[in-house]
Structure 1
């Protein structure tokens, strides 16, 4: 397609490409017209860290890691430089759970390891936000070994 030709891609009000197809709980696109899982329309809204943790945890607890990833990725992209690795690692953990939910054990294991390792590269940010990196690494290892039979992800202890 030539650059000056209009695109037939779904776009949001600002003209950015956005897939408007409904999605299942694992984030997989469904055919247009199908009934999917309701999506948050506030993905571009910047949330305070406490709001990010609360919303992402709520989604994880509802078995919606794909949506939790979206929330965590938004925090990662908006975070100050010294916090980006923490948010990136947490987002990768949510993607690992998404792969697990979709039946991709190998991809899940890889992303669980990567996410825990990435988050561990930001110990000051983790401490500032109450994230226990030792517990997170232990959870990721247990989840990798036991899969869905292991406990769910808890982003931080209160």
Structure 2
């Protein structure tokens, strides 16, 4: 009987610890007032080595234009990650988009980043339009963009 209790306790502890704690963040992307077609924006989780780990959002519905986001597209072709659940409308100059992400708490303060790539048809591609360090401080700061994105602001959802 004691062995069964110990075994049950160990299995219970293992199953509880195997569920990663996640927090929800609302992400607001404010675009610059640029001229041209709507931008395609990719939001990705980048690991401490600078490699793509996961796609959080694809703002742009037409797969034929995904190849304009060159670095992410290489990752996408290699992994064949299922992205239909995170795909939505592209975003135009001066517009804003809001998305909600779930980020594992264990990724904070470990060298991970959120990368926002942007591309506009027949215009320049910005592989690192915005990068946000997943640190306790960095994840709640307003970060200025360097391309089509004016700024990105995340806020934790309670």
- Structure with greater contact order relative to length (CA < 8 Å, sep ≥ 6): 2
Instruction: State the structure with more CA Rg.
Output: 2
- TM normalised by structure 1 equals 0.27
Structure having the larger proportion of residues in helix: 1
In the superposition, the TM-score normalised over structure 2's length comes to: 0.27
